[in-house]
Amino acid sequence: MQTLWDRHLSQGAREIRSSAIRDLLHVTERPEVISFAGGLPAPECFPAEALKIAAEQVLTENPRLALQYGPTEGYRPLRDWIRGHMADRDVAVPGEQVLLSSGSQQGLDLIGKLLIDPGAPVAVEAPTYLGALQAWYPYRPRFVTLPTDEDGLDVAALERLLQDGERPRFVYVVSSFQNPGGTTLSPARRQRLIELAATYQLPIIEDDPYGELVYEGDRAPLLASLDVALHGELRHVVYLSTFSKLLAPGLRVGWIITPAGLARRLVEAKQGLDLHTGSLVQAMIYEACRTGLLDTHIPHLRHVYRERRDTMLGALQEHLAGAARWNIPQGGMFLWLTLAEQIDAGSLLRSALEHHVAFVPGTAFFANGGGANTMRLNFSNAAPHRIGEGVQRLWLALEALTSAGVAV
């Protein structure tokens, strides 16, 4: 039945869709379920003690500042710290181009608000981060999907699109250890993408929550750093990152490194959203960063997550070799599985939930459909012994599905 509120919804609000992952979280909270579904960090790795000390310090030394309204741009000392951190990655920008956001998710929404008109083309990877699609649906873009392979976004496909006259408002790329695919854009493709951005005056949104979670191999240069190297200033890339995966997602603090021309507009748009990100939490994070927490914490996370990734790869090899293909991500939190053509991952999920194991079917990550036989597995959240058990349950679920003759 249509309610008063259904009839009064704006056109944009009619496009809002629930996230397949957030919907699954209700099920995965049950203790008997082993979840590879959410993109959740390992809760036992949260640096609770260090954050408690930081909170105590801030509330003792500077409560009037930490509990007061603050600037929309973010807490100045934390912005300065991030500026230094980014300069270490060869992205040196003036202070006013460093902004704090309430998670990267808010940065994505702000970008949608500023850059998308109804019907405007927006280029995204296939598959891409579901939360970006969710943030942008209400602005009603026309999503143009670009294929990906083991080297990340197919930049040649983008080039063909541009040559054919398509002019996306921006290209959205999760450049390292992508969510959901686990892939990393190769250095050669990064270079080409930045050249295309310059040739076609094409904005690039580089979303990089996982870049620090590297388990082997060299880190590729940031797209933002290549842009700075080419022009002597940040010109075509808006760079997003977050403390969600480095400290804890419940803090809800991310950062945006923006070309000068967009900085003011981002700040004004954020004013209307939430005035500013929480003062106390920004001051706590600064305190934790200032005292060097990340220098020990990031290596610890790398160690723990590498082990979990390897455990999952071992279990997949043991139980699912022959039934699926998967990649070996060199960092991040996700593995991408491709099942036999005729197996529908949505049907497999229903069978999997009966076996008390969860994952996200791949279709959710494709803006224009596809990927019915693909799925995303998170390896950072479950403890190693649960990972082995969960993969075995997945195999049982697949056996049950195929022996029942259920395909699509």
Contact between residue 144 and residue 168 where contact means Cβ atoms under 8 Å apart: yes
Can you name the residues that pair with 257 across neighbouring β-strands? 98, 239
Q: Which stretch binds ligand PLP (CB under 6 A): 83-91, 100-108, 256-264, 274-282?
A: 100-108
* DSSP 8-state symbol, 95: G
Choice from 203, 254, 361, 371 touching ligand PLP (CB under 6 A): 254
| Helical segments of 235-275, H only | 260-274
Q: Which stretch binds ligand PLP (CB under 6 A): 97-105, 220-228, 278-286, 371-379?
A: 97-105
Can you name the residues that pair with 377 across neighbouring β-strands? 335
Q: Which stretch binds ligand PLP (CB under 6 A): 102-110, 211-219, 344-352, 399-407?
A: 102-110
CB 407, min distance to ligand PLP, A: 31
User: Residue 35, interface with ligand PLP (CB under 6 A)?
Assistant: no
Binding string, residues 103-142; x marks residues near ligand PLP by CB under 6 A: xxx-----------------------x-x-----------
Choice from 148, 225, 242, 279 touching ligand PLP (CB under 6 A): 242
Cα–Cα distance measured from residue 73 to residue 169, given in angstroms and rounded to the nearest whole number = 24
Sheet with 98-101, side-by-side order of all strands: 98-101, 254-257, 237-242, 204-207, 171-174, 121-126, 142-149, 152-153
Choice from 34, 35, 37, 39 touching ligand PLP (CB under 6 A): 39
Q: Which stretch binds ligand PLP (CB under 6 A): 113-121, 241-249, 353-361, 363-371?
A: 241-249
Strand, coil or helix: what is 182?
coil
Choice from 91, 171, 174, 223 touching ligand PLP (CB under 6 A): 174
Comparing CB distances to ligand PLP, the nearer of 309 and 356 is 309
Query: Going along 201-354, which residue ranges are E strands?
Result: 204-207, 237-242, 254-257, 324-326, 334-339
Strand, coil or helix: what is 382?
coil
Contact between residue 78 and residue 294 where contact means Cβ atoms under 8 Å apart: no
For residue 384, say if its preceding peptide bond is cis, omega within 30 degrees of 0.
no
By Cβ distance, which residue is nearest to ligand PLP? Answer: 103
Comparing CB distances to ligand PLP, the nearer of 179 and 225 is 179
Which residues in this chain contact ligand PLP in the complex, by CB under 6 A? 39, 103-105, 129, 131, 174, 179, 207, 209, 242, 244, 249, 254
